[in-house]
Amino acid sequence: MSPLPPEKRIQFFVFVIESPSAVDLYHRRSEGEIVRQAVELNGIKCIVKTAISYLAFDACLKVGLSEAMGQMPGFIPLLHISAHGDSNGIQLSDGHIISWSELKEHLRPVNQALSGSLVVCMSSCEGYSGIRMAMDSDESNLPYFALIGCGAKPTWGETAVGYATFYHQLWRGELIADAVNAMCVASGNEQFFLEHAEKSRKDYIQFLNSVNPAQAQENLEQIVAEESPDNQESLKLLR
């Protein structure tokens, strides 16, 4: 499919919140600056904020993003979060860990303010695990519209090349799914994925509906039955 013509392209800017580790700070590595320099070659506006603590991270979302939008009326923000992380969440510079469930509560009001159009680019190890934020039965208050993240542990080079390509393709008018495919090719890492919050929510509800409580109870009883006699006696004392 051909890129959208200029008059139909969404005007956006990139809002980067980065929380580098002590090692990254020591070596003066800044993904935010790499992204900024890359996207500004295309004339894409980019604002980089450094959040070394939970308070600073909260301020970036509540104050920094609002100020940026005020400076660029008519432009939609793409939220780029750069931090070390794993399948459970992200870690800030000072060691504070923000779980996915906690980050969800930070993003919900932002997505609501944007009328459900927030796109989150998770630049962290296993950032794709962030789709857990949308695994909620409440469809009225999702934390984002779409999330892009890596399902593995990308290198610095793969991340920098990947996201620079992603933003470049969006600027060209490519659809978001095609832009993610391009970032996989350019970075050489096929573990970058796109997922819409509504799909994650529906899959989660479908999973919950597939659970059979009676079968689950039977499985637990079978586990107890297979315990050693001593363990069974101990379990009886707890009843």
- Range with the lowest mean pLDDT among 133-137, 158-162, 191-195? 133-137
Consecutive H or E run containing 196: strand 192-196
- DSSP readout, 146-187? EEEEESS---HHHHHHHHHHHHHHHHTT--HHHHHHHHHHHH
pLDDT class of 225 with cuts at 50, 70, 90: low
Rg (CA), the chain: 21
Contact of 127 with 87, CB cutoff 8 Å: no
Place of tokens 């920094």: 64
Give the other-Cβ count within 10 Å of 100's Cβ: 20
Q: What is the pTM of this model?
A: 0.85
β-pair partners for 122:
81
Q: Which region holds residue 142: left if phi is over 0, alpha if psi is between -120 and 50, else beta?
A: beta
C-alpha dihedral (148, 51, 87, 179), degrees to nearest 10: 10
| pLDDT at residue 215, rounded to an integer | 63
Quote the longest CA-to-CA distance of the chain. 74
Contacts of residue 128, Cβ cutoff 8 Å, sequence gap at least 6? 122, 147, 149, 150, 151, 191, 192, 193, 195
Using CA atoms, how far apart are residues 184 and 192, in angstroms rounded to an integer? 6
| pLDDT at residue 188, rounded to an integer | 97
Domains of the chain, earliest start first: 6-237 (3.40.50.2300)
Rounded mean pLDDT, 97-121: 95
Contact of 170 with 143, CB cutoff 8 Å: no
Contact of 84 with 25, CB cutoff 8 Å: no
Place of tokens 């990308």: 154
List, for residues 161-203, the tens digit of each pLDDT value: 999 999 999 999 999 999 999 999 999 999 999 999 998 988 8
Tokens read off for 107: 């993003």
